[in-house]
């Protein structure tokens, strides 16, 4: 049956949870809102109560109506029981927040208040302060005083202050304030959701890739996460002993038969390396089991407990994972291409669902980069090799075609060895008919069908993957806004983040066909043109400069221009950004960063060095 019909059958049917990811993410961390007030009673405080609580309520409504958790639920906020005019009320708010799983706090005020008596003092809690810009009541004065106290005490906080003076009876959130509130809110929610989770490594180091070597200190100190490790022998054990949901496997086999096997592409292997139909079917079966087992290892599966495998049912509490694959596994077993693709996609045989962030070749640093993007956008993420820069001259030489539009300055060929999210086909469409990658709760069965129809499943190149496999093959639909990022570790410096906003570009078929044949005609392709500035010596002088300055062989790619969100998140985690093309007006970091010099990027490095990792 078609994907759309299959999904409709499931609507309204009570299906048991296939894993404990819902349980794992359901104890949502909350944002605490602290309404700060002038504590002088006898008229002043009383006159400000409604206005101050109104500010807190407006922030709550903004966050709860706009922000979402990784599972699609709306973000939850908690307002302190009373306004905070002194240390006793500040302590009472902290006690309440502790009991209600608050993981980040924002203070709001329209007036002067007592700085050190009212600020939040928890060193692990991301903080922001919004002070009204009004002449009748000096909320901005408190903002400045409280930020000075935070900076003096080494407790970084984000300051939010509107550009235009508002009238006393104007309780609206102006657009510039809303923009900063949401930048902070998205970063805070991402930070809270990572804390206490795990990165699961399945296997070991892939092909000597440095990022494939997990560095537990980085995960613990900067992200508040732990590392879990499982040998690939566990895959074999679970397959051989049947430690997976057999009913789900039957459902998956039927779904793959209809949606994938009938879209198999030609086998480009040498004749002596081509599998017959029986062996191709065997590879499909094993690949499906790998996908199910990877997921169960990450987040568990209550079905396994009912089968008598209580330990296996628990999973590893992993919000992100990766599979070594090459070469010890892929030299004799099916590769992870199908499993990695389907995990990173917003749908499978169980219907529409959140994507599981999962890194090819267990590149942990690219997996974390994907996780940042996924938590900030709630969309599926691409994992790609940053493979080749194609200059306009090189394209002209091999195809005879002049590049035009956003591709006129050349492009970077993003391609992965057979796996990336099917959402990256760009086959979903927005209201105007343009290509889009949607949050999973907006994905429809028609969207899923479109992605599947634009994907061909190619028998994997058995000179690369001796055990076979199936690699997804597609070309990303052009003119889709995208952001590429990458975390790198530098000895003596620590982690640094690179960001490049740009577009997936449209090129003539002849250009694609020529480049596709020169690279690998069984793998998925995205042609990416970053936004450049033409400034000599800049890493964004031209497209070549972006490629030349990229710090690793992989990149994580998201729909949309979300570089500003990444910069705010990185500063919250105290990870400096070494390269970005985000407009200066969109850069939002803690107030203390302004005290480290006038060059924003240098100040970012100095501040992160002084404050150190948030959990370190």
Burial code of 574-608, b = ≥16 C-beta within 10 A, e = fewer? bbbbbbbbbeeebbbbbbbbeebeeeeeebbbbbb
- What is the residue-wise DSSP string for 397-409? HHH-----GGGTT
Q: Which residue has the tokens 């592409």?
A: 265
Contact yes or no for 567/493 (Cβ under 8 A): no
**Phi first, then psi: what are they for 544, rounded to 5°?**
-55, -40
CA distance 501 to 580: 8
What residue spans of 39-86 are helical by DSSP H?
Answer: 44-66
Residue 254, C-beta contacts closer than 8 angstroms, at least 6 positions apart:
1, 349
CA dihedral (68, 70, 72, 76) positive or negative: negative
447 is catalytic: no
d(CA 403, CA 529): 12
H-helix or E-strand spanning residue 129: strand 127-131
Residue 385 tokens, joined: 């090799």
What is the full DSSP assignment across 454-465?
T-EEEEP-TTT-
Q: Which residue is associated with the tokens 């069908």?
A: 449
The residue whose two tokens read 């077993």 is 333
Cβ partners under 8 Å of residue 208, min gap 6: none
Q: How far is CA 256 from CA 109, 353, 386, 452, 490, in A?
A: 56, 17, 30, 10, 42
Q: Which residues of 111-146 are buried (b: 16+ CB within 10 A; e: fewer)?
A: bbbbbebbbbeeeebbbbbbbbbbeebbbbebbbbb
**Catalytic residue list contains 361:** yes
The catalytically annotated residue of 120, 337, 385, 447 is: 385
Q: Are 362 and 206 in contact (CB under 8 A)?
A: yes
User: For the chain, what is the total number of helices (H) and then of strands (E)?
Assistant: 21, 20
Q: Which of 120, 312, 361, 542 is catalytic?
A: 361
Rounded alpha-carbon distances, angstroms, from residue 36 to 15, 110, 171, 473? 46, 8, 16, 55
> In which order are the strands placed within the sheet that holds 127-131?
77-79, 30-35, 102-109, 127-131, 158-160
The catalytic site residues sit at 361, 385
């Amino acid at each position: 049956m078609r994907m759309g019909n299959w999904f409709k059958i499931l609507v309204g049917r009570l299906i048991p949870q296939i894993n404990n990811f819902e349980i794992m993410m359901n104890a949502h961390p909350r944002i605490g809102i602290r309404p700060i007030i002038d504590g002088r009673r006898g008229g002043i405080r009383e006159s400000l109560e409604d206005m101050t609580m109104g500010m807190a309520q407006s922030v709550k409504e903004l966050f709860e109506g706009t922000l979402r958790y990784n599972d699609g639920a709306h973000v939850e906020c908690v307002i302190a029981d009373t306004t905070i005019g002194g240390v006793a009320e500040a302590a009472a708010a902290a006690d309440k927040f502790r009991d209600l799983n608050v993981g980040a706090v924002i203070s709001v005020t329209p007036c002067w208040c007592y700085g050190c008596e009212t600020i939040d003092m928890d060193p692990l809690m991301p903080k922001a302060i919004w002070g009204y810009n009004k002449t009748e009541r000096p909320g901005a004065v408190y903002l400045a005083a409280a930020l000075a106290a935070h900076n003096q005490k080494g407790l970084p906080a984000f300051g939010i202050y509107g550009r235009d003076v508002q009238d006393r009876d104007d309780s609206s959130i102006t657009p510039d304030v809303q923009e900063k509130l949401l930048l902070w809110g998205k970063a805070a929610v991402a930070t809270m959701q990572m804390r206490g989770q795990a990165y699961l490594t399945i296997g070991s180091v892939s092909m000597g890739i440095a990022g494939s070597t997990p560095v537990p200190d980085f995960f613990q100190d900067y992200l508040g996460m732990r590392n879990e490790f499982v040998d690939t022998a566990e895959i074999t054990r679970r397959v051989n002993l049947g430690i997976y949901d057999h009913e789900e496997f039957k459902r998956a086999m039927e779904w793959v038969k209809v949606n994938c096997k009938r879209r198999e592409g030609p086998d480009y292997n040498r004749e002596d390396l081509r599998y017959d139909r029986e062996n191709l079917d065997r590879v499909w079966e094993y690949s499906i089991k790998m996908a199910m087992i990877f997921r169960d290892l990450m987040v568990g599966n209550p079905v396994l407990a009912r089968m008598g495998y209580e330990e296996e049912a628990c999973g590893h509490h992993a919000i992100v994972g990766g599979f070594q694959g090459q070469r010890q596994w892929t030299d004799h077993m099916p590769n992870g291409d199908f499993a990695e693709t389907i995990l990173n996609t917003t749908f499978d045989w169980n219907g529409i669902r959140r994507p599981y962030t999962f890194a090819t070749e267990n590149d942990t640093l690219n997996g974390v980069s994907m996780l940042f993007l996924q938590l900030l956008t709630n969309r599926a993420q691409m994992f790609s090799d940053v493979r080749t820069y194609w200059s306009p001259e090189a394209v002209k030489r091999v195809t005879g075609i002049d590049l035009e539009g956003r591709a006129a300055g050349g492009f970077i060929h993003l391609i992965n060895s057979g796996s990336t999210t099917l959402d990256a086909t760009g086959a979903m469409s927005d209201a105007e008919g343009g290509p889009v990658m949607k949050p999973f709760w907006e994905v429809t069965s028609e969207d899923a069908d479109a992605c599947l129809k634009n994907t061909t499943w190619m028998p994997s190149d058995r000179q690369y993957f001796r055990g076979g496999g199936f690699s997804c093959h597609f070309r990303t639909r052009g003119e889709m806004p995208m952001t590429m990022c990458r975390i790198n570790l530098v000895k003596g410096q620590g982690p640094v983040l690179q960001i490049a906003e740009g577009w997936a570009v449209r090129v003539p078929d002849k250009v694609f066909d020529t480049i596709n044949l020169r690279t690998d005609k069984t793998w998925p392709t995205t042609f990416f043109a970053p936004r450049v500035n033409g400034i000599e010596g800049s890493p964004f002088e031209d497209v070549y400069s972006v490629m030349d300055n990229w710090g690793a062989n992989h990149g994580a790619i998201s729909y949309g221009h979300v570089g500003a969100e990444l910069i705010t998140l990185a500063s919250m985690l105290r990870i400096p950004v070494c390269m970005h093309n985000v407009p200066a007006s969109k850069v939002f970091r803690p107030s203390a960063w302004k005290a480290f010099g006038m060059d924003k990027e240098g100040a970012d490095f100095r501040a992160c060095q002084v404050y150190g990792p948030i959990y370190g």
